[in-house]
Amino acid sequence: MTEAAKKDLVNALAELVKERRLCAELLSKPYERGGTYEATMLRFVEFQTAIEAVERALLSEADYP
């Protein structure tokens, strides 16, 4: 993997982690029915899924020149 490709994946991972942390911050507040809790939980799961995908990409790309 080229350094540029690795840098892109690492930067993407950092941004996804930032967004996940923002979701976690919102989820730590008291639950309000009809609020945005459910939507935030879905976004949190989406970010976590994307983070895991980028981590797998970093591992698999390490096997290729």
The upper half-sphere exposure of residue 27, i.e. CA atoms within 13 Å in the direction of its Cβ, equals 14
Whole-prediction pTM value?
Answer: 0.86
Show pLDDT as tens, one digit a residue, over the chain (65 residues): 788 888 999 999 999 999 999 999 999 988 877 778 889 999 999 999 999 999 999 998 877 76
Q: In angstroms, how far is CA 38 from the centroid of its own chain?
A: 18
The predicted structure's pLDDT at residue 56: 95
Q: Is 20 helix (H, G, I), strand (E, B) or coil?
A: helix
Please list, in sequence order, all residues whose beta carbon lies within 8 angstroms of the beta carbon of residue 57, skipping any fewer than 6 positions away. 9
44 closest CA partner among 57, 31, 32, 28:
28
For residue 51, give its domain range. Answer: 3-61
Q: How many domains does the chain have?
A: 1
